[in-house]
């Protein structure tokens, strides 16, 4: 039956769950969590247990493979699929007459698949397409040109993952390749996405405290100060050591001035060129500073927001009023609370960056 939303009573939000293609009756609560962390989206749901065939005690106690699709509607008429995946866990409350299920999207197939293969003569996009088809997923892949065995410079090849292949999953391999290409990898429905980062540019989500059921603002002072990231490397081909440092200074200012010395972070990565070490340092600096400011809030649920996008916060009258990158969207529909969604986003204060110049061969630049 339609469930009322606490703030928008004119809506009639409704959720449906299909298990192995059949509608499951008796839904009490459902939650879908979409994230932006190179990991699976997840779901959980609770049902009345004794709802008749085929979803009685015997089904939940014995079925080995349960495919799940979750659909939401705001008007109880038109439905949007927000999750496709499989059940990982079934918990039965035998005395309370309830069953609780949880699971992951179809990226779970790749996460659990170990690989001993090498792909030195294939490109990243070819590998992504091959693995997608292996698991009956539709490849949504942008073509790449560089064979993954090509290592930094011509005539310096390696077999992808080499000695580590036996302890690597197909998902780990795709994440590794995505990071090398500057891509994102995810599964949406039955499609495997292997695409350049930030290709989707939906309009920013506008939010103010007045529009929220609740809002939490978090600021990490260790990251609010200036940050210096140093990457140290030894390039065996060139026989040279390099250390590249990138510094990011907070432009927001402080009434108390704050410490002048930047927070130091050091990373060691082998066989990089000076240019690659500098790019790696810049990426680490961006990753670290992006956790400086975190905004977390709950609003009435919608069917459009995804973790790939931005939001603009206004109305706090503080330096928290700025643009953030959405990290997580958690939708929850229950008989008691209606349809709500919790959003977590992260961002950095405006910063100016500077970097050193690479040192001479055999020397270390700092």
| pLDDT tens by residue, 223-256 | 888 889 999 988 777 777 889 999 888 876 554 4
Domains and CATH numbers, the chain: 14-105 (2.30.300.10), 110-196 (3.55.50.10), 202-296+305-327+344-366 (no CATH)
Among 27-36, 318-327, 337-346, 354-363, which is the least confidently predicted range?
354-363
Contacts of 164 (CB under 8 A, 6+ apart): none
Higher pLDDT, 362 or 169: 169
Mean local confidence (pLDDT), 9-29: 90
* Contact present, 331 and 82 (Cβ < 8 Å): yes
Taking 60 as the threshold, does the pLDDT of residue 321 lie above it? yes
Among 52-56, 129-133, 200-204, which is the least confidently predicted range?
200-204
337 backbone φψ class: left, alpha, beta (φ>0; ψ -120 to 50): alpha
φ and ψ at residue 78, rounded to 5 degrees = -95, 130
Cα–Cα dist 167/317, whole Å:
50
Q: What pLDDT is attached to residue 363?
A: 36
User: Of all helices (H) and strands (E), which one includes residue 284?
Assistant: helix 274-289
CA distances in angstroms from 183 to 180, 196, 239, 321, listed in the order given: 8, 4, 31, 29
Among 160-164, 307-311, 338-342, which is the least confidently predicted range?
160-164
The closest of 294, 292, 270 to 280, measured between CA atoms, is 270
* Contact present, 24 and 55 (Cβ < 8 Å): yes
- DSSP letter, residue 26: -
pLDDT digit string (tens) for 171-208? 998 998 888 888 889 999 999 999 987 655 567 889 99
* Contact present, 243 and 230 (Cβ < 8 Å): yes
Among 32-36, 105-109, 231-235, which is the least confidently predicted range?
231-235
Mean local confidence (pLDDT), 49-66: 88
φ and ψ at residue 258, rounded to 5 degrees = 80, 170
- pLDDT band at 9; cut points 50, 70, 90: very low
* Contact present, 29 and 333 (Cβ < 8 Å): yes
């Amino acid at each position: 039956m339609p469930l009322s939303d606490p703030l928008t009573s004119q809506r009639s939000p409704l959720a449906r769950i299909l298990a192995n293609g059949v509608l499951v009756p008796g839904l009490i609560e459902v939650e879908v969590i979409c994230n932006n962390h190179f990991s699976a989206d997840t779901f959980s749901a609770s049902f009345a247990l004794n709802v008749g065939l085929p979803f009685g005690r015997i089904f939940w106690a014995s079925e080995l493979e349960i495919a799940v699709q979750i659909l939401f509607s705001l008007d109880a008429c038109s439905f949007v699929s927000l999750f496709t995946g499989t059940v990982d866990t079934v918990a039965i409350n035998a005395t309370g007459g309830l069953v609780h299920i949880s699971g992951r999207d179809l990226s779970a197939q790749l996460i659990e698949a170990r690989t001993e293969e090498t792909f030195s003569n294939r490109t990243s996009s070819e590998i992504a397409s091959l693995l997608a088809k292996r698991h009956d997923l539709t490849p949504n892949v942008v073509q790449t040109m560089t064979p993954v065995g090509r290592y930094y410079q011509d005539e310096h090849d390696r077999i992808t993952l080499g000695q580590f292949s036996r302890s690597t999953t197909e998902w780990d391999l795709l994440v590794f390749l995505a990071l090398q290409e500057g891509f994102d990898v995810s599964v949406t429905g039955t499609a495997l996405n292997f695409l350049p980062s930030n290709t989707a540019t939906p309009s920013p989500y506008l939010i103010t405290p007045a529009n929220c059921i609740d809002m939490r603002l978090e600021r990490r002072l260790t990251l609010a100060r200036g940050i210096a990231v140093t990457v140290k490397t030894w390039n065996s081909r060139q026989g040279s050591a390099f250390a590249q440092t990138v510094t990011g200074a907070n432009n927001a200012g402080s009434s108390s001035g704050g410490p002048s010395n930047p927070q130091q972070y050091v990373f060691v990565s082998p066989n990089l060129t000076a240019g690659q070490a500098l790019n790696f340092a810049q990426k680490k600096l961006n990753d670290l500073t992006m956790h400086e400011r975190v905004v977390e809030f709950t609003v009435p649920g919608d069917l459009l927001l995804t973790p790939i996008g931005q939001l603009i916060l206004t109305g706090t009258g503080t330096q928290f009023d700025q643009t953030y990158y959405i990290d997580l969207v958690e939708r929850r529909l229950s008989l008691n609370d209606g349809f709500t969604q919790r959003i977590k986003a992260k961002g950095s204060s405006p910063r100016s960056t500077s970097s050193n110049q690479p040192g001479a061969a055999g020397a270390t630049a700092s």
